[in-house]
Amino acid sequence: MLNTLTVGQPGPTPPLLIVHGLYGSGRNWGVIAKRMSDERLVLTPDMRNHGDSFRADVHDYPAMAADLAKVIEAHGGTADVVGHSMGGKASMVLALSRPELVNRLIIADIAPVSYTHSQIQFIEAMRKVDLTRVTKRSDAVAQLAEHVDDTTLQAFFTQSLDIKNQSWKLNLDALADQMPNILGFPDVTGTYDGPTLFLSGAESDYVTRDYRPKIRGHFPQARFAKIPGAGHWLHAEKPREFEASLRAFLPV
């Protein structure tokens, strides 16, 4: 079972499951989860090979979807699901393979397609950090800055650092090996007929109009919205706007 943080109380509304992206963790969503927990139970799992969840050689979307299904089954059997990036792809496969578990679906800045921009350079950057010289998070940030220009990403990656044990809470070897699966999207059949929102950053190019026929082929009720001024990390760049979009789409 995935390590899952919970906040809020169960009630008449299905729980909200928030699924993080590559190199993330459930804790990354702590602020939004706490704010959304005013009216429902919110679940933020660590995906396999991330955070405090188990390590595995396989890291593909059917396996990740099955992991998420177990979390939902352990918390009542149905949930509203929000997934960002890698977590969005896992959430799509969950909805397509186990639609009875998903009440409403929000996909944040990703489409059911294969992408060509590799994320392997960030694994290489994290591997270059000399963890024996890290006694506080800023030590790792300083080392990452030599290989990663974006200060937001520097801070993001170091959230997955176990400073006490001088180790990454990421299975970097498995993620590197499975990168083709992470960038791709499995050949899945079927449709999810429930309410679905594809929420994108207006400055991101991850979800283009060219992808809409493929999206609607799997998600016929799909609606589309953009958050102005946000890129791929829309929930971190515009957290209040992201929260407002969730509340508008998810009835209580």
- In the chain the domains, ranked by start, together with CATH numbers, are 4-115+184-249 (3.40.50.1820), 120-175 (no CATH)
Task: For the chain, 252 residues long, give each residue's pLDDT as a single digit of tens.
Answer: 999 999 999 989 999 999 999 999 999 999 999 999 998 999 999 999 999 999 999 999 999 999 999 999 999 999 999 999 999 999 999 999 999 999 999 999 999 999 998 889 999 999 999 999 999 999 999 999 999 998 888 999 999 999 999 999 999 999 999 999 999 999 998 899 999 999 999 999 999 999 999 999 999 999 999 999 999 999 989 999 999 999 999 976
Catalytic residue (one of 38, 57, 150, 173): 173
- Let me know if 85 is a catalytic residue: yes
Catalytic residue (one of 20, 50, 84, 232): 232
198 CB-side CA count, 13 A = 25
170, two tokens: 């990421």
In angstroms, the CA 171 to CA 57 distance is 9
Q: Quick check: 115 and 183 in contact, CB under 8 A?
A: yes
35, two tokens: 């704010």
Alpha helices in the chain (DSSP H): 30-36, 61-73, 86-97, 120-127, 137-144, 151-158, 172-177, 179-183, 212-218, 234-237, 239-249
Catalytic residue (one of 25, 53, 85, 160): 85
In angstroms, the CA 12 to CA 178 distance is 39
Residue 187: Cβ within 10 Å count: 5
In angstroms, the CA 61 to CA 48 distance is 11
- Let me know if 167 is a catalytic residue: no
